[in-house]
């Protein structure tokens, strides 16, 4: 997978997790009042985790299948010494 895509996806997911954690902490300390905010944020993070795992699997399989043998170094058989 492209390095820029990996970096941008990891930054996006990190910001999303920090945002959800901040909202949860504010709700725990009753700075904001949202009913069942913890459960909703947990469900949101679970959905984000699941979809990112599926996308990672799909991209890993697609880019692995598109690799050509020319890009890989040749495999040398082990030398046998007597």
Structural domains of the chain, count? 1
Q: Which domain holds residue 55?
A: 3-66
Angle between helices 3-28 and 37-65 in degrees, nearest 10: 170
Residue 49, in any domain of the structure: yes
Euclidean distance between CA atoms 52 and 23, whole angstroms: 22
Residue 23, in any domain of the structure: yes
Residue 50, in any domain of the structure: yes
Residue 42, in any domain of the structure: yes
Per the structure block, which two tokens stand in for 66? 């598109």
Q: What is the pLDDT of residue 70?
A: 59
pLDDT per position as a tens digit, 11-70 = 887 788 788 778 877 877 778 777 777 777 777 778 778 877 887 887 777 766 555 555
Q: Does the pTM of the predicted model rise above 0.75?
A: no
Percentage helix, strand, coil for the chain under 3-state DSSP, each rounded to 5: 70, 0, 30
């Amino acid at each position: 997978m492209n390095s820029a895509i990996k970096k941008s996806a990891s930054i996006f997911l990190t910001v999303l997790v920090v945002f959800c954690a901040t909202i949860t902490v504010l709700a725990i300390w009753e700075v904001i009042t949202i009913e069942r905010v913890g459960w909703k944020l947990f469900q949101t993070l679970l959905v984000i985790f699941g979809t990112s795992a599926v996308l990672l699997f799909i991209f890993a399989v697609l880019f692995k299948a598109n690799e050509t043998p020319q890009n890989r170094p040749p495999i040398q058989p082990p030398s046998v010494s007597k």
